[in-house]
Amino acid sequence: MEPLLDETSLVPCPVRPPGSRIQGLATTMRALDNVGAPRVLRAVRDASARDVGGGRGLAMWCFDPSTPKDAGRFVAIRLGKQPFIDGDDGLFSVAQGRRVIEAKVNDSEVIACGLAAVEDHVLIIFASDTRPAGETLRVELSILEADGDGFRKDSVEIQTFASQGEVEAGRSAIVDRIERSVANGELLLVRAHEVFPRLRLGDDARTAVQALSGREPFFRQVLRHFRVLNEAALAWAPKTAFRPALTFSTESIATLEHGKFGPLRDFHTPDGFEHQRWSLHTKLTGGAGVRLYYRPERTLDEPVVLIGYLGSHLPTVNFPT
């Protein structure tokens, strides 16, 4: 699941100047960043050169003095990243595979909308007077199968996003799509810095996460607990207690100081943080006694949550086996 830029929205607008539109695009992208979407903006090859006002392309307007500097550079950097959507080696071609797919909206051929319909990506529009807000688009797909099943038609409704507010309003559905795209532990580790930017995993936790196939009954619970801990770190105000919206427990002093059971909780601490015996943990549903040990920490830059362990229930003085 990646953000795509609808190329049909890259048109001049007599009401809103390009710099203002770029600012809106940047805030929409940052809002998607905040919910864990991949930090890219997939577009067609000529997106940066398409006239969005005054006969000048989007890339030129990104560096125009009338465009807020941070927003312009932010958009320009994302626009320049490959792969592109169109072309023989583009993302749409890859999605087609051996099939031939034609995508249309209101009888006009589309590329980004088509890819969003085929692979469930998030579609961003470059807001203008004619398209000031996100809208639901019906994409008509004409598909010629290569395996002998012949020709068929399909119709898919996709939601577009044009502002930070729309992303925040659709947050739950976007998060669900993002988490569905994380199919196993290996992908989770690759995407962790985007999806859960405030989490820091120790080596023991990384090893356990990497081993997850995605078929475990508790796998979606791992994603949920990671997300809630990440959100709690984002919202953690100075001089307040860290309170994730999860049921959590602490180990008893007797267990932590026990000669045998205490050292079982000496998990690897992420680099840059002082080692402590781990105590705080959550209990995951969907599995037999799975635990997630964590520790909130304040750094000079931002609050984070350390993850020390993911695995089976560890013995305690009250439950030694």
Global pTM value: 0.76
CA distance 22 to 145: 39
CA distance 254 to 19: 62
CA distance 207 to 310: 9
Specify if 46 maps to a domain.
yes
| Chosen domain end from 173, 204, 228 | 173
50 and 58 Cβ atoms separated by less than 8 Å: yes
Specify if 109 maps to a domain.
yes
Residue 11 domain boundaries:
3-173
Q: Are residues 127 and 8 in the same domain?
A: yes
Q: Are residues 123 and 271 in the same domain?
A: no
5 and 47 Cβ atoms separated by less than 8 Å: yes
Q: Are residues 28 and 165 in the same domain?
A: yes
229 and 199 Cβ atoms separated by less than 8 Å: yes
Specify if 25 maps to a domain.
yes
111 and 96 Cβ atoms separated by less than 8 Å: no
CA distance 45 to 47: 6
Specify if 203 maps to a domain.
yes
Specify if 320 maps to a domain.
no
Q: Are residues 165 and 200 in the same domain?
A: no
Q: Are residues 134 and 239 in the same domain?
A: no
Q: How do beta strands 3-5 and 51-53 pair? A: unpaired
Q: Are residues 94 and 66 in the same domain?
A: yes
Specify if 18 maps to a domain.
yes
Specify if 160 maps to a domain.
yes
Q: Work out whether the CA dihedral 233, 300, 292, 255 comes out positive or negative.
A: negative
Tens digit of pLDDT at every position of the chain (321 positions): 899 999 999 999 999 999 999 999 999 999 999 888 888 999 999 999 999 999 999 999 999 999 999 999 999 999 888 899 998 888 989 988 877 889 999 999 999 999 999 888 999 999 999 999 999 999 999 888 766 567 888 899 999 999 999 999 998 888 888 888 888 999 999 989 888 999 999 999 999 999 999 999 899 899 999 999 999 999 999 889 999 999 899 999 999 999 999 999 999 999 999 999 999 999 987 666 899 999 999 987 789 999 999 999 898 888 776
Q: Are residues 207 and 122 in the same domain?
A: no
Q: Are residues 215 and 268 in the same domain?
A: yes
Number of domains comprising the chain: 2
In angstroms, the Cα distances linking 309 to 12, 207, 283, 299 are 53, 9, 12, 21
